[in-house]
Amino acid sequence: MPELPEVETVRRGLTNLVVGKTIQSAEVRWEKIPGMSSEEFDAELTGRKIERVDRRGKYLLFRLSGEKTLVSHLRMEGAYYTVPAGTEPGKHDLITFHLSDNVDLFYRDTRKFGRMNLVDTDKAMTVAGLAKIGPEPTEKTLTLEYMQKEFQRKGAVKPFLLDQSHIAGLGNIYVDETLWMAQIHPLQPANTIPLEQMKILRRAIIDELKVATEHHGTTVHSFTNAFGEAGEFQNELKVYGRAGEPCYRCGTILEKMKVAQRGTTYCPHCQVLH
């Protein structure tokens, strides 16, 4: 599933490609994605201008004229890309937005897991998944004081970090990476992490996501940005996808286990469960 750096990369691409264009019509070929018929979707969107594209956590928010917002969650395989008007959609191109300036915006989703919600802009943050979303992992929004308060929970730290209500945008890849950086075992109870280690974890989360975004995210499975380019950050990963290889810090062979139904790679020497 695309995580914050990948979704932010898509947002930046879409900002360059479609902001300022008007939706002339829309076609839906898989109605579960927008939760309405192609006719309804078209009627709601036709004539609206794409004023900007925002992001909150892993959600894209297309801000449209007339105080409407299209909330889009890519889930596993969702992707946007532009083509010349009149281009025939492929098998997995499930929604077409016909835009001004002879451009079509395709939404492609091979697994059909992605979802869209068209809502009044002032109701966008009430959409399921956004209503209880945690702070963005930035210097200003993810404070140490917030983490100290939020981490007063008994559950394992990895599922805690995967829960978007605590911190927005983290997924399997970057949780594994930042826990390795902070030398925290994925099963360590969140409420037992010492303050000094929490400071390191906070810094790792903020810095890792910032650098990953600069690298256009991590290419895993089929992620590409809105320009059809692959991310490069997979070349920088320290633990994710490296089970059976030596730890870059101590040389111990990295191990893999299941945590919260997710494959989890860690160093048994550097990340000791206390």
pLDDT at 220 over 70: no
152-180 average pLDDT score = 95
pLDDT at 224 over 80: no
Q: Which of 2, 5, 34, 186 is catalytic?
A: 2
Query: Which neighbouring-strand residues pair with 70?
Result: 62, 118
Task: Determine which helix (DSSP H) or strand (DSSP E) holds 15, and give its type and residue range.
Answer: helix 4-18
Residue 79 to residue 76: CA distance in whole angstroms: 9
Minimum mean pLDDT range among 87-96, 150-159, 177-186, 216-225 = 216-225
Minimum mean pLDDT range among 31-35, 153-157, 165-169, 234-238 = 234-238
Indicate the pLDDT class of residue 219, thresholds 50, 70 and 90. Answer: very low
13-34 average pLDDT score = 96
Per-residue pLDDT at 200:
97
Per-residue pLDDT at 256:
97
Q: Active-site residue 34, yes or no?
A: no
Q: Active-site residue 3, yes or no?
A: yes
128-157 average pLDDT score = 95
* Residue 29: Cβ-neighbour burial (10 angstroms; 0-12, 13-18, 19+): middle
Per-residue pLDDT at 215:
76
Residue 182 to residue 202: CA distance in whole angstroms: 9
Q: Which of 55, 58, 202, 242 is catalytic?
A: 58
Indicate the pLDDT class of residue 153, thresholds 50, 70 and 90. Answer: confident
Say how many C-beta atoms besides its own lie within 10 A of residue 64's C-beta: 21
Q: Which of 3, 6, 44, 77 is catalytic?
A: 3
Per-residue pLDDT at 84:
94
Per-residue pLDDT at 20:
97
Per-residue pLDDT at 213:
84
Per-residue pLDDT at 217:
59
Q: Which of 49, 75, 199, 262 is catalytic?
A: 262
Per-residue pLDDT at 218:
52
57-64 average pLDDT score = 96
If one compares 236 and 46, the residue with the highest pLDDT of the two is: 46
Per-residue pLDDT at 44:
97
Collapsed DSSP state (helix, strand, coil) of residue 59: strand
Q: Active-site residue 258, yes or no?
A: no
pLDDT at 221 over 50: no
Indicate the pLDDT class of residue 135, thresholds 50, 70 and 90. Answer: very high
The alpha helices in 109-221, defined as continuous H runs, are 144-150, 157-162, 172-181, 195-214
Task: Give the whole-number percent of the chain exceeding pLDDT 90.
Answer: 81
Residue 196 to residue 55: CA distance in whole angstroms: 31
| pTM score above 0.95 | no
70-78 average pLDDT score = 92
249-272 average pLDDT score = 97
pLDDT at 227 over 80: no
Collapsed DSSP state (helix, strand, coil) of residue 14: helix
Indicate the pLDDT class of residue 61, thresholds 50, 70 and 90. Answer: very high
Q: Active-site residue 135, yes or no?
A: no
Q: Between 195-214 and 4-18, two packed helices, what is the crossing angle to 10 degrees?
A: 30
